A and B are shown apart, each in its own frame.
Chain A
Amino acid sequence: MPNPASVPGGPPSALAGFRVLEIANMIAGPYCGKLLASLGAEVVKVETPAEGDPSRRRGPFPEDVPHPERSGTFLYLNTGKKSLTLNLEDPQGRVILAALMPEVDGLVHDLRPAQAGPVGLDPESLRQTNPHLVVTALTPYGSTGPYADYRGYDVNVFHAGGEGKLLPNGLALEYYPERAPLVAGSNMASYQGGLTAAVGTVAALYSAKYAAKIGRGGQYLDCSMQQAQLAVGYIPIQRLESEGVVEDRFSRFFRIGGVMPAQDGYVELLTLEPRQWQGLIEFLGHPEWAREEHFSDPATYGPELNRRLREWFSEHPKDWLYRQGQAHGVPVAPYYTPAEVFASSQQRERQFFRTVGHPEAGEVEYPGLPFHFSETPEEMRRAPLLGEHNSEILATIGYNQRDLVDLARAGVI
Chain B
Amino acid sequence: MPGSNNDPDNNSESGAGPLSGYRVLDFGWVLAGAIPGMVLADMGAQVIKVETRRRLDYMRLGRPITGDQPDPEQNPMFHNVNRNKMGITLNTTHTAGVDLALKLAACSDVVIENFSPGVMDRLGLGYEQINKVNPAVIMASISSTGQSGPLRDLRAYAPSIGALSGLDSTMGYQGERPLGLKHAFGDICGALHTVFAVVAALYRRRQTGKGQYIDQSMLRATVVTNGIGLMEYAMTGRVLQTRGNFDPTMVPYGNYPCAGDDEWVSIAVASEDEWQNMIAALGNPEWAEQPAFSSKYQRLKNRDQVDSQLAQWTRSRTAEDVTELLQSHGVAAMPVMSAEKRLFNPHFRARGLYADIEHPSLGAEPIFNLMWNLSKTPSRIRRHAPLLGEHNRQVFCDILGMPEAEVEKLEDAQVIW
Contacts and interface: CB of A to CB of B under 8 A. Distances in A.
A375 B212 contact: yes
A184 B177 CA distance: 14
B371 A231 contact: yes
Given A64-B236, A350-B148, A370-B217, A14 B228 contact: no
Interface stretch (A295-303, A332-340, A389-397): A332-340
B365 A242 contact: yes
B168 A268 contact: yes
A31 B221 CA distance: 12
Interface residues of A, number: 164
A136 to B, nearest CB: 8
A375 B210 contact: yes
B340 A272 contact: no
B214 A153 contact: no
B193 A372 contact: no
The 5 A-B residue pairs whose C-beta atoms are closest, nearest first, are A207-B18, A72-B231, A333-B160, A219-B376, A185-B170
A409 interface: no
Given A60-B236, A198-B196, A224-B351, A336 B231 contact: no
Interface stretch (B245-253, B284-292, B408-416): B245-253
B212 A337 contact: no
Contacts of B228: 27, 60, 72-73, 76, 186-187
Contacts of A270: 157, 159-160
B228 to A, nearest CB: 5
A237 interface: yes
Interface stretch (A94-102, A173-181, A281-289, A398-406): A173-181
A72 B162 CA distance: 22
Given A155-B247, A159-B336, A345 B151 contact: yes
A182 to B, nearest CB: 6
B339 A186 contact: no
A168 B188 contact: no
A344 B164 contact: yes
13 contacts: A142-B373, A145-B350, A160-B342, A164-B338, A185-B242, A235-B184, A332-B160, A340-B166, A349-B149, A371-B221, A372-B215, A372-B217, A373-B214
B368 A341 contact: no
B146 interface: yes
Interface string A208-219: 011111110111
A76 to B, nearest CB: 5
Contacts of B345: 160
Given A155-B266, A365-B234, A370-B216, A338 B177 contact: no
B152 to A, nearest CB: 8
A352 to B, nearest CB: 6
Nearest to B366: A241
B163 A233 contact: no
B335 A160 contact: yes
Given A168-B171, A200-B374, A371 B266 contact: no
Given A168-B172, A250-B262, 13 more contacts: A14-B203, A155-B247, A155-B253, A156-B266, A162-B183, A165-B264, A185-B242, A195-B196, A211-B8, A222-B374, A238-B80, A240-B343, A337-B239
Contact of B177 (A259, A361, A370): A259
A154 interface: yes
Given A199-B199, A341-B223, A370-B220, A144 B232 contact: no
Contact of A268 (B162, B210, B236, B331): B162
A360 interface: no
